[in-house]
Amino acid sequence: MKYSLPKLPYAYDALEPYVDAKTMEIHYSKHHQAYIDKLNDALGKHPEIAEIPLENLLQTPDKIPQDIKTTVINHGGGHYNHSLFWEIMAPTGTKTPIGKLAEKINEDLGGFEKFKETFSNAALTKFGSGWAWLSKDKNGKLVVTSTSNQDCPLSESLTPILCLDVWEHAYYLNYQNRRAEYIATWWNVVNWEKVGNLLK
């Protein structure tokens, strides 16, 4: 088996009350694991691409054999997206971006408050299941986007540095239909130091 669950950098209950322990446990140990299992199954059918890093496959999906292409985009995307998602959250930290990241957000996105509004809106208005993203484009400019399903910004020539999962499995136990509340409280657990490091 090629891919396995990355270690969660904190305990299941570490992000409470914003992200509850039960949601974190199921999301990480069941949902994320399921993406990994299906990704490994698909790649097992094509050992010739087994050595290509997942990032490269998602950046250039044309490299993926046709019969497993959709599976790798869905479940490989699921593995990549969730791995990033766990990393960009933390129980404590700076409550706002610092250093170069703060400067870039001011420069490219009209300041932190404006960025939060744009990003929250992208997350809120994503119809169905998907993600909101902060990414760096080819010219190094920061952009806010959203994707459906487990589609990853890597496939749009972007380098993601912050993401928010708005699939119902990410919030339904605690927030039910209140996606807006989930989004608004999630800002409390963003690991800005990590996001700043990813920008570099």
Q: Which residues bind Mn ion (CB under 5 A)?
A: 165, 167, 170
Task: Output 151 or 165, the one with its CB closest to Mn ion.
Answer: 165
Task: Output 86 or 167, the one with its CB closest to Mn ion.
Answer: 167
Q: Helices (H), strands (E): how many in the chain? A: 10, 3
Closest approach, Cβ 160 to Mn ion, in A, equals 15
Task: Output 83 or 121, the one with its CB closest to Mn ion.
Answer: 83
H/E run at residue 145: strand 142-148
Closest approach, Cβ 132 to Mn ion, in A, equals 13
Task: Output 42 or 84, the one with its CB closest to Mn ion.
Answer: 84
Closest approach, Cβ 114 to Mn ion, in A, equals 27
Sign of the CA dihedral with 128 first, then 134, 137, and 141 last: positive
Closest approach, Cβ 78 to Mn ion, in A, equals 7
Task: Output 5 or 98, the one with its CB closest to Mn ion.
Answer: 5
Amino acid in the structure at residue 95:
K
Closest approach, Cβ 191 to Mn ion, in A, equals 17
For residue 199, give both structure tokens: 């920008």
- In the complex, which residue's CB is closest to Mn ion? 165
Please spell the DSSP secondary structure of 128-181, one letter per residue: SSEEEEEEE-TTS-EEEEEEETT--GGGGT-EEEEEEE-SGGGTHHHHTT-HHH
Pairing mode, if any, of strands 130-136 and 159-165? antiparallel
3-state secondary structure of 91: coil
Q: From the CB of residue 181, how many other CB atoms can be counted at a distance below 10 Å? A: 13
Closest approach, Cβ 169 to Mn ion, in A, equals 5
Q: Which of 115, 118, 127 is nearest to 179 (CA)?
A: 127
Task: Output 18 or 112, the one with its CB closest to Mn ion.
Answer: 18
